[in-house]
Structure 1
Amino acid sequence: MSVDIRTQGLERPIKVAEYLFARLHQLGIRSVHGLPGDFNLVALDYIPKANLQWVGNVNELNAAYAADGYARANGISALLTTFGVGELSAMNGIAGAYSEHVPVVHIVGCPSTISQRNGMLLHHTLGNGDFNVFANMNAQISCDVAKLTNPNEIADQIDHALRECWIRSRPVYIMLPTDMVEKKIEGARLDKNIDLSEPENEPEREDYVVDVVLRYLHAAKNPVILVDACTIRHRVVDEVQALVKKTNLPVFVTPMGKGAINEDTPSYGGVYAGTGSQDGVQDRVESADLILSIGALKSDFNTAGFSYRTSRLNTIDFHSTHCTVRYSEYPGVAMRGVLRKLTERIDPSKLSGPPGPKVVNEVTMNRDDSDVITQAFFWPRIGEYLRKGDLVVTETGTANFGIWETKFPPEVMGITQILWGSIGWSVGATQGAALAMKDRGQDRRTILFVGDGSFQLTAQEVSTMIRHNLRVTIFLIYNEGFTIERFIHGMEAQYNDIVKWKYTEVPSVFGATDKQVRKFIIKTKDELEKLLDDKEFNDAHGLQFVELWMPKEDAPRALKITAEISAKNNAREE
């Protein structure tokens, strides 16, 4: 029997696939999303050997959306597709994760190194012998690309990619050739977890920034805190909560930051989105003489069409890679260390300013005498239905804007995609988020709010929810088409219309038995009230599907404002 001298020096030889999946397990991933393809089949055999579950989605786009949702709920996720046809279908979902700072490990099974070297005319290629074209595409939406072609480098490549994915909170791309899957590498490295600690700020620079911030903060007469998306994405929620608790300063969230602050916090003042803000919020934030802006992503929909009226002279920005105090930027000084020292050193007795507005679910004042379920009534009413610890997923469009009017109970996780805004994303993301909770042993409700138009794009993912017996309640808003598009342009245009499905039958079509799914069609306020007060509905496990009738030409207040501004921006000429 011949001896492979290339593995003689290995203390504990292990196959590449075993190593990769063991590392995923160490990161807290328990399920791998994706689809099988001939270039990843052998790798798939090693998933259960690492105590991981193969999800088995219905298409790669949905799988990428699901991996996005899983990562938001779990901290990080994994997606496995096949070369070319599979990975390209997933790219829209990966691009969304990149734009919104979501850490997804995208593994692509690809042709062997020999096939690539010889430029063979294989299926799933462009027929030109270029095996790097898809990796080059993915490089634009990944913070690291690892091509696992040399066994001597593979362990380092995997560890580096996974660390980058976590630290930078963005997708990474790992290209796994078929002939590398069972190559042997050093398994002894698995005894030591990957170092996921963030680089610490240089102490002197950090202290200087903290001193500058304190000087402005102690001098301010009317300071506020504004919490945005990267507070969540870069895991500084605890630091921000500690700062809010110690200072008791009025604190507001952006639409993308909703859920980052416990909304029962006494100083919580609501959602700030420029002209789309709730009553009293815009004036309170924009009259502040100092805004501590944490993790900002000032996109159009996050700011109600760039409608902020705040001054750079009155703003201090905290980010994962730098801090900016008024017009002075401090590169390389990350927000975590600054926020911690700021909380330690701040003197609450030196802080002043009026309190922010109080936030309540304004149900009674938005209830009229008609039977019609209006957007203005629905979203505050949902605030009374929600429970501590719920996961709330809202689709781009009506739900994204409506949820601004919903006051969350404590520990509610808000999951939304406002910057990328890919229609249909929420259905896959709901599956991923609900599975993450199940994997973590947390019996939390996952609740999806999605419009009928968006649902039609990704409805197949309901079958994956059924397959894994996930605890999901879907509120499908039946309002006859693409509402946000109607308000931007073409209220009666045919291109904004859709075919009416028998929506409540969708789970049955995908194989759900009557024991696996409960279905409801709700057309009036009284029917809605009865459903939301029903104990069995509130406590149910498994899948629940609610078809909720709302007027075609009704929309949340903030959506109307933002759509009008978007229409003007779209029509603007030089």
Structure 2
Amino acid sequence: MSDITLGRYLFERLHQLQVDTIFGLPGDFNLSLLDKVYEIPKMRWAGNANELNAAYAADGYSRIKGLACLVTTFGVGELSALNGVGGAYAEHVGLLHVVGVPSIASQAKQLLLHHTLGNGDFTVFHRMSNNISQTTAFLSDITTAPMEIDRCIREAYIYQRPVYIGLPANLVDLKISGNLLNQPIDLSLRPNEPEAQEEVIELIKKLLSTSHNPIILVDACASRHNCKSEVEQLVNKTGFPVFTTPMGKSTIDESHPRFGGVYVGTLSQPDVKEFVENSDLILSVGALLSDFNTGSFSYSYKTKNIVEFHSDYTKIKQATFPGVQMKETLQELLRVISVPKNYIPPPIPVIAQLDTTKFSPSSPLTQEYLWSKVSTWFEEGDIIVTETGTSAFGIIQSKFPNNTIGISQVLWGSIGFTVGATVGAAMAAQEIDPNKRVILFVGDGSLQLTVQEISTLCKWECNNTWLYVLNNDGYTIERLIHGMNATYNDIQPWNNLAILPLFNAKAYEAIRTSTVGELDQLFNNSSFKIPNKIRMIEVMLPTMDAPPNLIAQAKFSSEANES
């Protein structure tokens, strides 16, 4: 290839990794860079409503594709995105944050430019991002810039964390050799240290040889760091019961005969809690043990025989093995593992099913009915996005079909995240399979924080999207924690069914359901399942109705805030 601009090089590298939608907003320091998006066949500029939403969208896209790119302008743009970038860092999501910055000459002269703090410091925002980035680069030399771009992309992908690239406006159009693109970016993990890994494997084998009731507990990082296949193979080869955490939901096929349910400490189904906590060996894969993911840290294991597999270390009981990465370790374990001679696979807990016969068609909808019934409507391959609050807790009692991808932000918990994330997921799904369904569950209060991003869904005709708005008249999760009757937990009611026509959706459907019969009729309608339009479904629910696990979690949170 002949010489190309540095800006085009950046997007060609992303295109090589199937990152074909770029999220963000234009600003005068990134406009020349954005021109280069249109030079790449099949690449598109999403054009989001604001930078925060763009960061959320990039997060959702990355959870489907493994990497995403967000472009903002210097200062005002990049700071608006940082909440979303912080969430990606906390939850292990690979994201390239490219910031168009003033030219090198302007920086050298410390000009009093707009979007600065007026003190001549052009690196202050870069320093802010450094705390929520795996690595950063503030480009200044065209000869090293391509290598820095490659390094940042590699680290974002390998470590599944955001990286920051400051790209001066005057470098974007400078030429470099197009032949640099002929050498792919090396995305392979570095090998584990053989002796350390061997010691880990031997210790695990020793624990297995004396175990009578081992289990596998899977969390979010197993999915984030591409270990779902290894987990499935481990379950198949051993027959050990497998459980997930709330964040790990969708990491294992819930139809698998050895799937035992979701473990959330004291908030678990009683027989799940008893089964997990009475195990004598726990193989924990990809744990992110936050309060909402553990029932406020209420894990009560009876054993100290715990093996933790993480993306960058392994821990066995009290011994930590830095750098022994879980993917290679699990692959080696699968090669040598043998099931204990006296091990008899125990029957797993039976997941309780709601008796729907006690509801008449005229019964008002409840959280309990919704989360049970929606399981019958889900299809294999769905992408299911659940907002912090009643949705993230309610979805735990739903059953996912095989090959489902669940998206929630249980650790960072930024209200409104899912609207933007749904945009990113829907655009990623369009690139993979236009018939791949993306389903959002969001509260009426959360919706109001980021509703503008539905405009982006309409612009790109993401007709593979269902938007379930749970209208329970305000912030129910906050009411449960504190201020049940406080006006700060109220919201101004919106005409939610007018949102899609407001944003000029071309093909859409807007539906309100308030009874069991109306919801059943909707789910039984075969045409409602077809991804041929954007659908908004407003689900009317009682104000204080909430999943039981959320009510218990809210009590824990309230007590923790007061202690």
Q: TM-score range by the shorter chain?
A: over 0.9
Mapped contact 2:472–2:542 kept (Cα < 8 A): yes
Give the letter for the 2:174 counterpart. K
The offset of 1:368, in angstroms, is 7.0
Select 1:559's aligned residue among 543, 550, 555. Answer: 550
Provide the rounded CA distance (Å) in 2 between the counterparts of 1:422 and 1:42.
Answer: 32
Can you give the 5+ residue segments of structure 2 that lack an aligned partner in the other structure? none
Which residue of structure 2 aligns with residue 23 of structure 1? 13
Determine helix, strand or coil for the equivalent of 1:257.
Answer: coil
The offset of 1:83, in angstroms, is 0.5
Mapped contact 2:264–2:295 kept (Cα < 8 A): yes
The offset of 1:422, in angstroms, is 0.3
Which residue of structure 2 aligns with residue 7 of structure 1? none
**Is it true that 1:144 corresponds to 2:135 in the alignment?**
yes
Which residue of structure 1 aligns with residue 40 of structure 2? 50
Q: CA separation of 1:363/1:200 partners in 2, compared to 1, >3 Å: closer, same or farther?
A: farther
The offset of 1:315, in angstroms, is 1.0
Give the letter for the 1:237 counterpart. K
Which residue of structure 2 aligns with residue 116 of structure 1? 107
Moved more, 178-187 or 97-106: 178-187
**Is it true that 1:479 corresponds to 2:472 in the alignment?**
yes
Determine helix, strand or coil for the equivalent of 2:116.
Answer: coil
Select 1:280's aligned residue among 250, 253, 271. Answer: 271
The offset of 1:27, in angstroms, is 1.4
The offset of 1:44, in angstroms, is 0.6
Which residue of structure 2 aligns with residue 392 of structure 1? 384
Moved more, 209-218 or 416-425: 209-218
Give the letter for the 1:48 counterpart. Y
Determine helix, strand or coil for the equivalent of 1:79.
Answer: strand
**Is it true that 1:451 corresponds to 2:468 in the alignment?**
no
Determine helix, strand or coil for the equivalent of 2:247.
Answer: helix
Provide the rounded CA distance (Å) in 2 between the counterparts of 1:362 and 1:462.
Answer: 33
Q: CA separation of 1:517/1:331 partners in 2, compared to 1, >3 Å: closer, same or farther?
A: same
Provide the rounded CA distance (Å) in 1 between the counterparts of 2:217 and 2:550.
Answer: 21
Select 1:358's aligned residue among 346, 350, 371. Answer: 350
Task: Give runs of aligned pairs for residues 273-422 of structure 1, distance below 5 A.
Answer: 273-310=264-301, 313-348=304-339, 350=341, 351-352=343-344, 354-359=346-351, 361-364=353-356, 367=359, 371-422=363-414
Which residue of structure 2 aligns with residue 213 of structure 1? 204
Provide the rounded CA distance (Å) in 2 between the counterparts of 1:380 and 1:524.
Answer: 14
Determine helix, strand or coil for the equivalent of 1:47.
Answer: helix
Provide the rounded CA distance (Å) in 2 between the counterparts of 1:269 and 1:333.
Answer: 28
**Is it true that 1:87 corresponds to 2:78 in the alignment?**
yes
Provide the rounded CA distance (Å) in 1 between the counterparts of 2:562 and 2:408.
Answer: 27
Mapped contact 2:239–2:345 kept (Cα < 8 A): no
Q: CA separation of 1:427/1:289 partners in 2, compared to 1, >3 Å: closer, same or farther?
A: same
Give the letter for the 1:171 counterpart. P
Mapped contact 2:439–2:466 kept (Cα < 8 A): yes
The offset of 1:342, in angstroms, is 1.3
Select 1:489's aligned residue among 479, 482, 487. Answer: 482
Select 1:37's aligned residue among 27, 31, 34. Answer: 27
Which residue of structure 2 aligns with residue 4 of structure 1? none
Provide the rounded CA distance (Å) in 1 between the counterparts of 2:425 and 2:228.
Answer: 19
Which residue of structure 2 aligns with residue 508 of structure 1? 501
Which residue of structure 2 aligns with residue 433 of structure 1? 425
Give the letter for the 1:336 counterpart. K
Task: Give runs of aligned pairs for residues 162-181 of structure 1, distance below 5 A.
Answer: 162-181=153-172
Mapped contact 1:221–1:353 kept (Cα < 8 A): no
Moved more, 367-376 or 305-314: 367-376
Provide the rounded CA distance (Å) in 2 between the counterparts of 1:364 and 1:190.
Answer: 58
Determine helix, strand or coil for the equivalent of 1:46.
Answer: helix
Q: Deviations over 1:496-544 (max 9, x none)?
A: 000110001011111124xx11010101011010001111111242200
Can you give the 5+ residue segments of structure 1 that lack an aligned partner in the other structure? 1-10
Select 2:87's aligned residue among 84, 93, 96. Answer: 96
Select 2:530's aligned residue among 531, 535, 539. Answer: 539
Provide the rounded CA distance (Å) in 2 between the counterparts of 1:192 and 1:298.
Answer: 39
Provide the rounded CA distance (Å) in 1 between the counterparts of 2:298 and 2:357.
Answer: 27
Moved more, 206-215 or 102-111: 206-215
Select 2:54's aligned residue among 63, 67, 74. Answer: 63
TM-score, length-scaled by structure 1: 0.96
Q: Deviations over 1:448-473 (max 9, x none)?
A: 00000000001111110011111100
Provide the rounded CA distance (Å) in 1 between the counterparts of 2:531 and 2:22.
Answer: 26
Mapped contact 1:275–1:561 kept (Cα < 8 A): no
Determine helix, strand or coil for the equivalent of 1:292.
Answer: strand
Give the letter for the 1:42 counterpart. S
Determine helix, strand or coil for the equivalent of 1:288.
Answer: coil
The offset of 1:203, in angstroms, is 2.1
Mapped contact 1:379–1:403 kept (Cα < 8 A): yes
Mapped contact 1:220–1:352 kept (Cα < 8 A): no
Q: CA separation of 1:76/1:403 partners in 2, compared to 1, >3 Å: closer, same or farther?
A: same
Give the letter for the 2:44 counterpart. Q
Provide the rounded CA distance (Å) in 2 between the counterparts of 1:359 and 1:258.
Answer: 14
Seq. identity, %: 46
Determine helix, strand or coil for the equivalent of 1:225.
Answer: strand
Provide the rounded CA distance (Å) in 1 between the counterparts of 2:9 and 2:355.
Answer: 54
Give the letter for the 2:474 counterpart. G
TM-score, length-scaled by structure 2: 0.97
The offset of 1:349, in angstroms, is 5.3
Q: CA separation of 1:105/1:198 partners in 2, compared to 1, >3 Å: closer, same or farther?
A: same
Give the letter for the 2:426 counterpart. A
Determine helix, strand or coil for the equivalent of 1:561.
Answer: helix
Provide the rounded CA distance (Å) in 1 between the counterparts of 2:435 and 2:299.
Answer: 39
Give the letter for the 2:251 counterpart. A
Provide the rounded CA distance (Å) in 2 between the counterparts of 1:139 and 1:322.
Answer: 23
Q: CA separation of 1:368/1:404 partners in 2, compared to 1, >3 Å: closer, same or farther?
A: farther
Select 2:520's aligned residue among 517, 529, 533. Answer: 529
Give the letter for the 2:234 counterpart. L
Which residue of structure 2 aligns with residue 258 of structure 1? 249
Q: Deviations over 1:543-564 (max 9, x none)?
A: 0000100010110111011110
Q: CA separation of 1:501/1:114 partners in 2, compared to 1, >3 Å: closer, same or farther?
A: same
The offset of 1:442, in angstroms, is 4.8
Mapped contact 2:210–2:340 kept (Cα < 8 A): no
Provide the rounded CA distance (Å) in 1 between the counterparts of 2:188 and 2:336.
Answer: 24
Provide the rounded CA distance (Å) in 2 between the counterparts of 1:357 and 1:224.
Answer: 12
Give the letter for the 2:472 counterpart. N
Q: Deviations over 1:411-464 (max 9, x none)?
A: 111011000000000000001001001112352110000000000001111110
Number of equivalent positions? 560
Q: CA separation of 1:75/1:363 partners in 2, compared to 1, >3 Å: closer, same or farther?
A: farther
